[in-house]
């Protein structure tokens, strides 16, 4: 008889009317996807957003596999989380090592996370061929690794890798691996469809068998190789799983993981689970992750894509105008999206009327809000994107409302790139002429590339007037080329930068057909946001600092709140 430890407090398997625990692995499994890359700064910023959204567990990475993940856990040690708990991910001990001498387990403990997720082999093929271990050795590796981490005060989530393939090949051995993890003290057993080829009926059968055998919560981890990851996750929940793993946007190795955006929406809106996640923030979260990864958002993403509630055919638009549910399965606002009416050769009179009515409704929402929204839409049409560039949005809103006073006036800049025969790298130099409070400042600086040179020249020119700017440093810099249209319009270049001072970091954006100009716009916003945030009055303006403080307080979010 398998020894079954008591469930972790608060982690008992929920009934059909209880919330499902959401485990996000975007920062680890998501980054294994082709074209999906995050810096450690990106990972910290996304972790904060996931916490604010209401994710229960955030898997930050594999600290024993690369320096970036180790750096992430070091940085997160100083980041307070509200709801979410942080998990480090790694494997069981090596077959030739003890738990005390295994560097992977040591790295997991060094990450100092309250939760550790350990994966082990469930498939005999992987045990003998991939690990080169015996079946008994593998069971000992699972049991001892989990027990060692539990003894060190960590809660352990056990991921049964290739569980469904393993159960098909040797069902008794696959179950024996779960027994070993449970004997070690795992708080959750997660059944993984690692190759992503299992159908929903088999997924549900596996969960039901595990629920009958074990008292601890059963989880599910699905991949999308047969385009069934979300369906399989939901089938698992309906069969009794109380813990779902996935990624924002479904990013991940090969065809990706279960998309937690869709999973969370379906749990709440289709299965009636009282999920604590903030559904109205779904679209914002999805786009934030895309922008951080420097990827174009998926136009047709369920619930959150631009096309998710877009109507083009005249018959459709006419019906939706009368009863939205005729062509919409949920109200767009519940997931933070909005209805879009498209104009084309398929349009009818209803399309034009719908566009007119939308504008009227926006105007009724308030003149100030309407102007800000109108300006935002205009800028986004020109290539700007404010997800991940909250500082630029705050400054734009201040300018539209007439609350912003410039801190300096630009009179021009020059950027020169020079490469000579003997130079190992091109030399970049930027000169800039700015006016601050009637004083003209003309200076130059070199740098590691034209953008860095321009950044240094700006800092050199302005720090004399605003010493606070000496605290500024560049954290991240991203460039995306947005293709021109069929009429021959030039491609637009979008630049997003992240700056930080001693207390916090913020993102800004610039867009132009010229890389340097787009970079300059983003740099200027970063500098001005620092001064607004610190409640500095424009130099030489004669403004009362208290007035500047009051204006800033109306538009700059609290440092303690997510922006």
As a three-state string, the secondary structure of 34-97 is CCCCCCHHHHHHHHHHHHHHCCCEEEEECCCCCHHHHHHHHHHCCCCCCCCEEEEEEECCCCCC
Q: According to the model, what pLDDT value does residue 548 have?
A: 37
3-state class (DSSP) for residue 362: helix
User: What is the rounded average pLDDT of the residues 74-90?
Assistant: 96
Nearest residue to 522 via CA among 531, 532, 533, 512: 512
pLDDT at position 475 is 87
**Which tens digits make up the pLDDT trace of 234-260?**
999 999 999 999 999 999 999 999 999
The pLDDT of residue 368:
66
Which candidate, 270, 157, 245, places its Cα nearest to that of 193? Answer: 245
In this predicted structure, what is the pLDDT of residue 134?
A: 97
Which range among 20-24, 99-103, 358-362, 460-464 shows the weakest confidence by mean pLDDT?
358-362
What is d(CA 341, CA 196) in angstroms, rounded to the nearest whole number? 36
Tell me the C-alpha distance between 183 and 5, whole Å. 8
d(CA 489, CA 483): 9
Please choose, from the candidates 505, 493, 494, the residue with its C-alpha nearest in 3D space to the C-alpha of residue 529: 505
What pLDDT is recorded for position 199?
98
d(C-alpha 73, C-alpha 63), whole Å:
8
Predicted model pTM: 0.73
Find out whether 552 and 532 touch, Cβ atoms under 8 Å.
yes
Q: How confident is the model at residue 155 (pLDDT cuts 50, 70, 90)?
A: very high
Tokens of 138: 């593998």
CB 17 within 8 A of CB 240: no
Instruction: Give all domains of the chain, ordered by start, each with its CATH number.
Output: 21-292 (3.20.20.70), 310-364 (4.10.430), 382-407+472-563 (3.30.160.340), 409-465 (3.30.160)
Task: Give the Å distances, CA to CA, from 351 to 37, 325, 347, 370.
Answer: 40, 17, 6, 21
Strand locations in 419-532 (E): 427-436, 439-447, 473-482, 492-500, 505-512
Query: In this model, does residue 357 exceed pLDDT 50?
Result: no
The mean pLDDT value for 1-23 works out to 57
CA dist., res. 131 & res. 124, Å (int) = 10
């Amino acid at each position: 008889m398998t020894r079954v430890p008591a469930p972790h407090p608060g982690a008992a398997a929920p009934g059909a009317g209880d919330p499902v625990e959401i485990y996000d692995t975007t920062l680890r499994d998501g980054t294994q996807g082709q074209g999906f890359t995050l810096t450690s700064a990106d990972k910290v910023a996304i972790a904060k957003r996931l916490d604010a959204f209401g994710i229960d567990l955030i898997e930050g990475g594999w600290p024993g596999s690369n320096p970036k993940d180790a750096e992430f856990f070091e940085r997160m040690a100083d980041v307070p989380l509200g709801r979410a708990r942080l998990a480090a991910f790694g494997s069981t001990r090596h077959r030739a090592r003890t738990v005390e001498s295994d560097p992977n387990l040591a790295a997991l403990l060094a990450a100092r996370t309250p939760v550790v997720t350990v994966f082990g082999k469930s498939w005999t093929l992987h045990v003998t061929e991939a690990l080169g271990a015996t079946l008994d050795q593998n069971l000992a590796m699972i049991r001892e690794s989990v027990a060692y981490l539990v003894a060190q005060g960590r809660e352990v989530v056990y991921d049964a890798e290739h569980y469904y393939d393993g159960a098909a090949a040797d069902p008794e051995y696959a179950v024996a691996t779960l027994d070993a993890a449970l004997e070690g003290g795992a708080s959750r057993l997660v059944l993984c469809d690692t190759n992503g080829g299992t159908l929903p009926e088999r997924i549900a059968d596996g969960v039901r068998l595990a629920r009958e055998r074990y008292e601890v919560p059963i989880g599910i981890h699905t991949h999308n190789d047969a385009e069934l990851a979300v369906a399989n996750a939901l089938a698992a929940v309906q069969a009794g799983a109380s813990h779902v793993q996935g990624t924002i946007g479904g990013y991940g190795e090969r065809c990706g993981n279960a998309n937690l955006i869709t999973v969370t929406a379906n749990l709440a809106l289709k299965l009636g689970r009282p999920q604590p996640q903030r559904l109205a923030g779904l679209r914002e979260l999805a786009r934030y992750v895309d922008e951080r990864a420097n990827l174009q958002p998926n136009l047709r993403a369920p619930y959150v894509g631009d096309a998710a509630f877009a109507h083009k055919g005249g018959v459709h638009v006419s019906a939706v105008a009368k009863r939205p549910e005729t062509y919409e399965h949920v109200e767009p606002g519940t997931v933070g999206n909005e209805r879009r009416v498209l104009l084309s050769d398929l349009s009818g009179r209803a399309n034009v009327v719908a566009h007119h009515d939308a504008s009227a409704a926006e105007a009724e929402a308030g003149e100030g809000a309407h102007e800000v929204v109108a300006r935002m839409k205009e800028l986004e049409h020109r290539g700007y994107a404010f997800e991940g560039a909250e500082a630029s949005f705050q400054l734009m809103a201040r300018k539209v409302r007439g609350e912003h006073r410039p801190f300096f006036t630009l009179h021009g800049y020059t950027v020169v790139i020079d490469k000579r025969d003997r130079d190992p790298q091109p030399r970049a130099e930027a000169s800039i002429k700015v006016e601050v409070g009637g004083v003209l400042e003309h200076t130059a600086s070199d740098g590691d590339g034209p953008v860095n040179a321009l950044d240094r020249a700006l800092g050199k020119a302005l720090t004399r007037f605003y010493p606070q700017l000496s605290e500024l440093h560049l954290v991240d810099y991203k460039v995306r080329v947005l293709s021109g249209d069929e009429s021959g319009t030039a491609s637009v270049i979008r630049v997003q930068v992240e700056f930080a001072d001693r207390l916090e970091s913020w993102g800004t954006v610039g867009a132009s057909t010229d890389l340097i100009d787009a970079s300059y716009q983003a740099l200027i916003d970063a500098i001005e946001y620092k001064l607004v945030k610190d409640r500095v009055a424009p130099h030489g303006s004669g403004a009362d600092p208290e007035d500047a403080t009051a204006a800033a307080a109306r538009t700059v979010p609290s440092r303690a709140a997510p922006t």
